[in-house]
Amino acid sequence: MKTVLVTRRIPDPGLAVLRQRGFRTIVHAPDRPMTRSELLKGVARADGLLSQLVDRVDGAVFAAAPRLRVVANYAVGHDNIDKEAARARGVTVTNT
């Protein structure tokens, strides 16, 4: 089963869509952004990352996530994601 790390709680219908499609979700439960160390630790076992604009997704994140294949930003933009580092690792970057 593929795993998606959700860096901050999103509305339940969004999580339900992921789960209905067979993804295991790991949701950062506290109502605050993940710390850098929480992000690096959490992404280590993730196939997908559902991030927020406050999450800096850079080369260190990609290096910590050998299984990562997609980063989906729950935001309009994706300036917080190092797209060159993603491309180098074959990770797809999307946003809402």
Q: Euclidean distance between the first and final Cα of the chain, in Å?
A: 24
CA distance 91 to 22: 20
Instruction: Show pLDDT as tens, one digit a residue, over the chain (96 residues).
Output: 999 999 998 999 999 999 999 999 999 988 889 999 999 999 999 999 999 999 999 999 999 999 999 999 999 989 999 999 999 999 999 998
CA distance 49 to 65: 10
pLDDT of 14: 92
